[in-house]
Amino acid sequence: MQKLEFSVDINATADKVWQILFEKDNNGVWLAALDEGTTFEGTWAEGSIMKFLDAKNNGMYNLVETNVLHSELKMKHLGWIVDGQLNPMNWENSYVRYLLVTNEDGTLLKGEINSLDEFVSFFESKYPKNFLNIKELAESV
């Protein structure tokens, strides 16, 4: 297990960055850095299941553990979705966490991923682009 950290300064309010991250109209745009056509199903309420799906109904699903509006969202990775079916995995303490910190220039967006070793290169290749997409979207609206 490796802890990965990503961050970007964004010249926008935490409210605006939060909207880009978690509202469906915006989320699909920056998620495209993971895989074109990626979208989500579910709600961001604590205790709910979020599904992240590609155009073929494959992807992964997570448990929303923490949701503090405009501040923090943490999800535990639970398993794969194959042909729309949930496939639980034992991914130990694998999670993704987004933190929004207000500063004098706007918002510092920080991402933490506790990743299994086999997924490190995937996250390292995708998340910097994700964060640039989020920055561009938040600053352009």
Name the pTM for this structure: 0.89
Q: With 0-12 CB in 10 A as exposed, 13-18 as middle and 19+ as buried, what is 98?
A: buried
| Top-tier CATH class for 2-140 | alpha beta
Q: How does pLDDT run along the chain (141 residues), one tens digit per residue?
A: 999 999 999 999 999 999 988 886 665 666 665 666 778 899 999 999 999 888 889 999 999 999 999 999 999 999 999 999 999 999 889 999 999 999 999 999 999 999 989 889 988 988 898 899 899 989 996
Nearest partner of 50 among 98, 117, 1, 2, judged by Cα: 98
- Element housing 108 (H / E): strand 106-115
Q: With 0-12 CB in 10 A as exposed, 13-18 as middle and 19+ as buried, what is 44?
A: middle
d(CA 128, CA 7): 8
